[in-house]
Structure 1
Amino acid sequence: MSPLETSLAFCTNFLFVPGTRSDRFLKALNSGASGVIIDLEDAVGPNDKETARTQLREAWGTFSAAQKKQLVIRINAPGTKYYGADLSLAQEIYAPCLLIPKSESLDQINGVAQILPNTAIIPMIETALGLDRLKEIANAQQVLRLALGNLDLQADLGMVCDEQESELLTARFQLVFQSRVAEIAPPIDGVTTSTTDENRISADAARAKRMGFGGKLCIHPKQIGLVRQAFDPSSAEIEWAKRVIKADYESHGGAVKLDGRMIDRPVVILAQRTLNQAK
């Protein structure tokens, strides 16, 4: 199966779980999250990296084939002393998808693709250099979609953002824009640090959807339902999308009007994306 055929391309929410907490792996998979990220990076201290790899290795055989399709492994960043061992583990267990933090170059991504030819890759953009090289990263081999590391990007740029992270609107637009140009799945927005402020979580998720993101990272199970609610198409949106696809089919791809609105290729693409999310 091509990396671009994985259902992870259409997941609207991804829940992080620490790699050292194997007791939470199945809980995360059963939490209602459409994607689960087993984290070997930020959630694991320097002295616990090998423990996290061991726990992941031992747990991997207990996952069903369907569960493995939900899993993403966040390895440590390229250039760190943990990177090589993480890649070796990913190769050993045939990891279906890797989240690569602090992605900053085409060579980094293509290098991973050569080692893991059947693994989908999600580069995480969280540095100024990664943002500057966004186009080449989006077009690298086996890239499924991009992800925004909003907190690390703020720190790298020396930003002090307001509650709405208005200062990152340009960066968010660039991820959406370059994803569309590269013809990969819509990007994944970064985290909301609050796990209790439902209004903030919902507002952040709604902003992400309006801007063209296809999903959002979650740090707590409480966030999943709110993020899903923001991204999942309504019944009216699904019905509209079906009508658009039908009108496009009947016109053999030519321009046609529906409810007084011109249906051209961008509208058809949006309708298809809505139906993919509904699945």
Structure 2
Amino acid sequence: MSDYLMRSLLFVPAHNQRLMDSAIKAEADVLLFDIEDSVQPVENKQKARDLAVKMISEGAFKDKVIFPRINDRESGQLLKDVTQLTIDGITGFMYPKAKKGEDIYFFDKLLETIEYEKGIPVGTFKIIPLIETASAVLNAQDICNASSRVVAIAYGSEDFIADLEGQHDLEHESLFVPRNMIAMAARACKVIPIDTVQVRVKDLEDLEQNLILSKKLGYEGMLCLNPIELSLVHRYFSPSEQDVYEAKEILRLDKEARENNQGVAIMNGKFVGPPFVLKANKILKKHQKITSKKNG
């Protein structure tokens, strides 16, 4: 299980001073300073880099986990992005439009070169690939395994639907298979699966339906476009009081059974086998991360 808490990843257009200021108070687990799609025209990308560096250097985001979404390798902006943004206060980068593992391997080596040049320990900056094409979905496991820097992968549904030439229906049926495949690829590679954005931004009822499905599919967090989503997102991706109580009880009964040579413990008429114990440990570890963040 990753050491990162990534229930919510909030996009913040990095050229927009007002939105950057408001992000200081946002309760998102991760801030995605956007240098890519939301920063237009292209002249604004340098403004976004400069503003991000200035505010981070001044300590505005000292307690935040920051992953700028940079531009892809074909944009002509990537080298500028990483040269300027490989600084203290940046945890890593969201890499867009990764189509195969080779893209992430290339980006890993670019980061390695810059770390060497700047005297930064190699491997400092982590990567979250953004899965946005049909090719990327089919290559998701390869993308996860392309670099030890990869800590999560995230689904970008709108670019995917455009690439697929499909339709984003109201029931989200067209997204079900790729969402499932991305979550499985992430879990198979022991990285965090992050679900796609809520397109109907202020429709909290639809967001809740998406969160219910997202959790069933194994996702651990969600990309967010608006701070109003954060409370609901955190509720669904955080263990409830009942979850924590049951996890502690499972571990207690398991320990008691082993100490008394009773074999497998029983709780509420169910055998407490190894999968239950594993899940209980994960729940308590996540609860501890959330508690530490609140107390921090």
What is the TM-score with the length of structure 1 in the denominator?
Answer: 0.89
Match of 1:126 in 2: 132
Q: Paired residue for 1:95?
A: 90
Matched, 1:262 2:271: yes
Q: Which has the higher mean CA deviation after the structures are superposed, 55-64 or 167-176?
A: 55-64
Tell me, yes or no, if structure 1 residue 274 matches structure 2 residue 280: no
The Cα of 1:128 is off from its aligned counterpart by 1.1
Tell me which amino acid in the other structure corresponds to 2:71: N
For 1:10-30, what per-residue CA distance to the aligned partner results, in whole angstroms no more than 9, with x for missing partners?
A: 221111110102343342131
Instruction: Return the match for 1:50 from 34, 46, 50.
Output: 46
Mapping of residues 52-201 of structure 1, within 5 Å: 52-63=48-59, 66-68=62-64, 70-93=65-88, 95-114=90-109, 115-116=111-112, 117-141=123-147, 142-185=149-192, 187-201=193-207
Larger mean CA deviation between 46-55 and 262-271 belongs to: 262-271
Superposition CA RMSD, Å:
2.2
Where does structure 1 lack aligned partners over 5 or more consecutive residues? Answer: none
Distance change in 2, residues 1:16/1:167 (3 Å)? same
TM-aligned CA deviation for residue 194 of structure 1: 1.9
1: CA distance, partners of 2:183 / 2:279: 14
Residue deviations 1:41-89 (CA, integer Å, cap 9, x gap): 1110122111111111111112367524x21111112221111111212
User: Does the C-alpha gap of structure 1 residues 139 and 262 become closer, same or farther in structure 2, counting only changes over 3 Å?
Assistant: farther
Alignment-mate amino acid for residue 28 of structure 2: A
Deviates more, 1:113-122 or 1:160-169: 113-122
Amino acid at match of 1:276: K
Q: Report the more deviating stretch, 86-95 or 130-139.
A: 86-95
Provide closer, same or farther for how the CA distance between residues 30 and 83 of structure 1 changes in structure 2, counting only shifts above 3 A: same
The 2-side partners of 1:210 and 1:47 are apart by: 42
- The one-letter code of the counterpart of 1:118 is T
Change (3 A) 1:129 1:261: same
| 1:11 pairs with 2:6 | yes
Report the CA distance between 1:241 and its aligned residue: 1.5
Q: CA deviation at 1:230?
A: 2.1
Where does residue 293 of structure 2 map in the other structure? none
Could you tell me how far 1:129 is from its partner in structure 2?
A: 1.3
1: CA distance, partners of 2:255 / 2:75: 51
Report SS of the residue matched to 1:188: strand
Q: Provide closer, same or farther for how the CA distance between residues 258 and 78 of structure 1 changes in structure 2, counting only shifts above 3 A.
A: farther
Q: Which has the larger radius of gyration?
A: 2
Aligned length: 271
Q: Secondary structure at the match of 1:146?
A: strand
Are the counterparts in 2 of residues 102 and 126 from structure 1 also a CA contact under 8 Å? yes
Letter in 2 for 1:58: K
Aligned to 1:195, the other structure's residue is in SS state coil
The 3-state SS of whatever aligns with 1:262 is strand
1:38 aligned to which of 22, 33, 37: 33
Secondary structure of 1:99's counterpart equals strand
Q: Deviations over 1:209-236 (max 9, x none)?
A: 1211001111011111121222222111
TM-score (norm 2): 0.84
Structure 2: gaps of 5 or more residues: 113-122, 291-296
> Within 1, Cα distance between the matches of 2:94 and 2:278?
26
Counterpart-to-counterpart distance in 2, 1:145 and 1:248: 31
